[in-house]
Every structure is written in C-alpha cells, then in structure tokens.
Structure 1
C-alpha cells in the first residue's frame, strides 16, 4: 500500500512538472518559479501535502543539483577554469563585500548578535549555482561571452563555501580554535585535491570513462560524479563543487557524449530540486517576515547586478553582456537554505529560518526574471534617457556602443533568439 501511494504521489509530481514546463515554454519564460509554486502546493501547509514520496524527492533534489553543476562543468576545460579563476578572483572579493555586508548589517540592526550576522551574511552572499545553471540553459546562454564570468563567480563562491561552512559550523557549535582549524584544514585540503586531480589528470580520467557503448558511458559518468560529490560533501566541501570539477576533468568526445546522454536526467532531477525547495516552505511562516525579507532581497538583488556588471566589464564584455551577467547572478537557493538550516538547528535565532526562507523564495522566483529582463530594461532606460538628452546625443551614444561592441570578438557566432539579438550581442 505504501508503495502504491508513493507511485501515485511521485507520478503526479512528474506529470505536473511536465505540464508546467510546457506552459512555461509556450510563453517563453523559465519554468523555475512554477516548479517552486508547485512545491509550495505539495509541501507543509499546502493544498496537498506529500507523505510517502518526500524522502525520494529529497534524494532526487540532491541529484538534480549535482547534475546541473556537472553539465555546466562539461562546457569548459580545466585550462578555462584555471585562467578564469586567476583573472576573476577580484570579482570574488567584490561579490563577497557587496553581498555579504547587507545580510550582516541587517542581522545586527535587528539585534540578533554577531553569530547570526555571520550566518545571514552567508545567506545573502551566495548565489544559487543550481538555479543559475538551469536558467542559463533555458535561455540558451551557455555559449555567451559573459557566461565564463558568471561561472567564475559561482565557482569562487562554491570554493569559498569550503572555508565558510567549517567556520560557521564551529561558531554555531561553540567549539575551540583547534577543532575549528582542523575542520577547516580538512575541507581546504579536500577541495585542493579534487581541483588538482581535475586539472592535472583530466585526460587520464577521460580515457578511463570513455566508452563507445552509451549505456556504459552513462553509468560510469553518473556513478563517478555522484561518488566524487558524496566524498566532497563528506569532507565538508560542496557536492556541487565536486560535480563541477568532474565535468571540468572530462573533455573531448567523452564530454560531448556525456552531455547528450545526461541532459534528460538533468532536466528531470533539476525540476525535482526546485519542487523539493518549495516542499519545505510553510506558506504560513512567510507573511510575518515578508517585509524585511523583501527589503533585503531588493538591496542584494541590486548588489548582485552591480557585481556581475563590474566583473563582466572587467573581462571586456559588451554592455549588453554586462547587464545579462548581473541579472543572472540574482537568484539565491540551496546554499542559503543550508546555512540558515544550520543556524536554526543550533537555536541561534528563531526568526532567522523563516526570514531566510522568505528571502530565498523571493529571489529564486525573481532570479530567472532578472536574468531574462535586466538587459532589455537597462537598454530601454538608457534609450529613454538618451532621447531626453536629444537626438544628437542619442545618435552619438548609439554609435559609440556599436563601435565598442565591434571591438570585442565573441567565442562563437550564434543567434540568441530569446532576446531577439544578433550574433554581435554575444561578443
């Protein structure tokens, strides 16, 4: 009987996701907000709470994040990763400063204390790699010039989590300096080891994985990815970082074959991840903290856009790409919830959990919209201001923008139909 209920519940979820995805595709927008709303409907305090299939959905959600980051890693080589990290580390510092400070200040203003301030700083700092990877794929921007900049910031954030999570765990547990330092050393060593193996022995790993049989290739790649992600998480390193580095290590025909085989699985489990996030959000807990969460969301959405714009400008990406980079970074998600969950479990501040949930829920819904519309809105405002200054100034500004865009070569030529832009906009 339990098995039958499980099949009915899980089948209903998958069917609902398929219908919501078709609906979103018809109107050309990301289905992520609809998936989240479906999770709210099936979750605690929702219309049809789940029971039998919740544990399976939780496991599927973890696999979804892992596959999203694996597929993103397959798009880039180890040399791309190292060069991007070397050139973009200042963007990581700017990202931390602009987006962690608002959370820390907000916690202190509400009188929550220094430990809660460090926790809320992490909640507002880290973007959602899973959501952003899905949005970039949905909008067809994986090959865009600004995407490596976005990717570099996400990787720097995920690697920073290898330092931040042991620190915050030690603070919440109140452990001594020696124990906290040991945990931090283990996490850093594990992250460094995985990165070294991916960069140094990527070709050997690709040879080991390579197979002409699609079935064997699928099983080996999927098994290796989940294994590395699990080991990384066990060592206090993000499972997403482990999966991403596996993707980086694979190259050539192996990467192409794995990409085509894993794409359907990624889409399925990624949708399950967003439903799972909604499942654990009680709609009744949101209204009391909605105003402070909304204010914090507005501030940190603007700081993330500023971060992406600055980083893309530093990488000599065109103006349109800068706005797209900023808009893509707005979404918060899995890491923010994990950080808040640690604080709630430690009993630091009762209101921190609902606030973080409302905050993430707002930005995980708004994030796909800012990724899609930040650049068109910025272009409209710029054009409007230019018209007010007069036709001569507008013409000069347009000519200057075209000249600047023409100087920047793109990595590939393609048409981005969603934005109605030509191949020059990808440069």
Structure 2
C-alpha cells in the first residue's frame, strides 16, 4: 500500500511539473517560479501536503543540485576559465561588490547575524545562468556583441561558487576559524589541482571517459560525478563544487555527448529540487517578508543593470548593448535557491527561506522583462532628455541680447545666446555611434 501511495504522489508531482513546464513554454517565461509555487502548494501549510514520497523527493533534489553544477561545468573548458580570470576579473569584483553587499546589509538590518548575512549576500549576488541563457536564446541575442561580456560575468560567478560554497558549508556547520580555514584551503587546493589536471591532461581524461555507446557514456559520467560529489561532501567541501569540477575536467566530444544525454535528467531532477525547496517553506511565512524581499529585489535589479552596463562599457560596447547586458543579468534562480537551501537545512534563520523564495519569485519573473525592455526604455528616456535639452537651448538662443549701453552688471546677468558659445557641448556617451548589434560569426563557449 505504501509503494502504491508513493507512486501516485510522485507520479502526480512529475505530471504536474510537466504541465507547468508546457504552460511556461507557451508564454515564453521560466518555469522556475511555477515549480516553487508547486512546492509551496504541496508542502507544510500548503493545499495538499505530501507524505510517502517526501524522502525520495529530498534525494532527487540533492541529485538535481549535482546535475545543475555538472552541466554548468560542461559548458566551459579549463582554458576558458583561466582566460576569463585574467581578462574579466575587474567585472567580477564590481559584480560582487554591487550585488553581494545589499544582501549582507539587509540581513544585518533585519537582525539575522553575520552567518545569515553571508548567506543572503550569496543569494543576491549570483545570477541565474539557466534563465539568462534561455532568455538570450529566446530573444535571438546569442550572437550580439555584448553576449560574451554577459557570459564572462556568469563564468566568474560560477568560479566564485567553488570558493563560496565551502565557506558557507563551514559557517553553517558551526566550524571555528581553524576548521573553516582548513576547509577553504582544501577546497581551493582541490579546485586548483583539478584545473591544472584539466588543462594539462584534459584530453586523456576525456578519452578515458569517452564511449561510442550512449548508454556506457551516460553511466560512466553520471557515476563519476556522483562519486566525486560524495567524496567532496565527505571532505566538507561541497558536493556541488565536486560536480562542477568534474564538468570542467571533461571537454570536446565527451562534454558535448554528456551534455546531450544528461540534459533530460538535469531538467527532471532540477525541477524536483525547486519543488523540494518549496515543500520546506510555509506559504504563511512569505507575506511577513514580502516587503523586504520586494525592496531587495528592486535594489539588486538596479545594481545588476549597473554591473552589466559598466562591464559592457569597459569592453567598448555601444550604449544599446550596455543596457541590454545590464538588463539580461537581473534574473536570479537556481543558485540563489541552492544557497538558501543550505541555510534552511542548517536551520540558522527561519525567515531566510521564505525571503529567498519570495526574492527569487520576483526576480525570476522580472528578469526576462528587464532583458527585453531595459534597452528600449533607456533609449527612449535618453531621447526625451536630449529633446528637452534641445528645446531649452533653442529657447535661450532666441532671447534678445542685452543692449550695448546696459551697465556691466546687467550684461553679466543677461542670458547668453547659443551662438556666443566658443565650444559645442561635450558629446554624451549615450550618443556614440551604435556598434553592430551582432557579430557575423556565431559565438562558441565564453
């Protein structure tokens, strides 16, 4: 009887997620908020709490996090990461400063303490690579000149996760400075070792894993990932970081084949993960934190737009491309929930989970809108400002000049016509000639 109830519950969850995904795809937005809402509906305090399948959903959620980070690692090679670190690290530092500090400040203002401040800083810092990649594809911007800038920022955020997650794990476990430092040193050492091995021996590793049989390739890659993730978690580094490093170590045809084979599994278990996070959030706990979540969402949406604008300007992108880059980075999603999920499991602050849920729900819906409309709105406001300034200059130029016999004091106070100016006004940066929106060559990996 128990197995029958489990099959009914889990089957209903999967069927419901599939229908929600189809609904989201029809209206061209991310299904993540719908998955979170489904978890809220089936969790504690929801419409229909689960019973028999909750333990299995918890295991599936953990696999979902591992597969999310593995697939992210497969997108990049070790040489890509090293190159991004050398050339784009200033953008990464600006991104961290502008977007992590508001989260930390909000946690301290709410009286949650330093550990919760570090956690909420990560929630507000990391953009959603999955949502952003989908939005860029839907809008046909994968070949735009600002897209490499966007991807570079996302890569640097992903690299930062390899350092950030072990720190969070140590803090949530209540480890002291010595134990936390040892954990961080192990994480950095393992990450550096894997990157070195991937750069020097990546082809040999890929050749060892490679197989012409899709079934064998799937089993080897998935088994290796779970094994390394388990060892990493045993060392208190992070299962997610271990999976990410496995993805980096694989390259070429193996990475492409594994990406194709594992994508359906990732989508399945990632959806289960979002449901699981919602299951552990009481819907009644969200209204009290809705106002802080909304304020934090507005502030960090603006700081992400500023980050993208600055990074694109540094790369020599035109004004339109700068605004597009900023608007595309606003969405938060899977990684914010992963970070908040660690804190919820550790039980450090009861309100952190509801606030993170509301925050992600707001920005995962707002993100595609800012990606689409930030640039046209900014250009319209700039055009309106230029028109207003032009009218003001025209009005001033038509004023009658003071007579020659007027006293010197009157001449100093009289309005100056536009023709009296020896130099034209400095050109505004937003008026620079627009670069081509797209490169002819399709972009590969960042």
The TM-score range, normalised by the shorter chain, is: 0.7 to 0.9
The answer as to whether partners of 2:65 and 2:338 remain within 8 angstroms in 1 is: no
**Equivalent residue for 2:74?**
74
TM-score, length-scaled by structure 1? 0.81
Query: 2: distance between equivalents of 1:216 and 1:179?
Result: 40
**Equivalent residue for 1:121?**
121
The answer as to whether partners of 2:84 and 2:155 remain within 8 angstroms in 1 is: no
Aligned pair partner of 1:405 in 416, 423, 436: 436
Deviation string, structure 1 residues 248-285 (Cα, Å, up to 9, x no partner)? 33333223322322232233223223322322221100
Q: RMSD of the TM alignment (CA)? A: 3.6
**Equivalent residue for 1:207?**
207
The answer as to whether partners of 2:296 and 2:359 remain within 8 angstroms in 1 is: yes
**How much does 1:130 deviate?**
5.4
1:360/1:46 Cα in 2 relative to 1: closer, same or farther (>3 Å)?
A: same
**Equivalent residue for 2:40?**
40
Query: 2: distance between equivalents of 1:56 and 1:132?
Result: 30
Query: 2: distance between equivalents of 1:398 and 1:125?
Result: 27
Moved more, 14-23 or 119-128: 119-128
Moved more, 248-257 or 361-370: 361-370
Moved more, 280-289 or 96-105: 96-105
SS at match of 1:405: coil
Query: 2: distance between equivalents of 1:330 and 1:121?
Result: 15
**Equivalent residue for 1:367?**
367
Query: 2: distance between equivalents of 1:56 and 1:137?
Result: 34
Question: Within 5 A, what are the aligned runs for 1:208-223?
Answer: 208-223=208-223
The answer as to whether partners of 1:35 and 1:274 remain within 8 angstroms in 2 is: yes
**How much does 1:307 deviate?**
1.5
**How much does 1:86 deviate?**
1.4
Query: 2: distance between equivalents of 1:160 and 1:398?
Result: 32
**Where do 5+ consecutive residues of structure 1 fail to align?**
415-426
**How much does 1:360 deviate?**
3.4
Deviation string, structure 1 residues 4-50 (Cα, Å, up to 9, x no partner)? 11111121122122222222222222222222222222222221222
TM-score, length-scaled by structure 2? 0.78
**Equivalent residue for 1:188?**
188
SS at match of 1:127: coil
How many equivalent pairs are there? 410
The answer as to whether partners of 1:327 and 1:372 remain within 8 angstroms in 2 is: yes
**How much does 1:78 deviate?**
2.6
**Where do 5+ consecutive residues of structure 2 fail to align?**
392-427
Query: 2: distance between equivalents of 1:168 and 1:271?
Result: 24
**Equivalent residue for 1:15?**
15
Query: 2: distance between equivalents of 1:173 and 1:67?
Result: 24
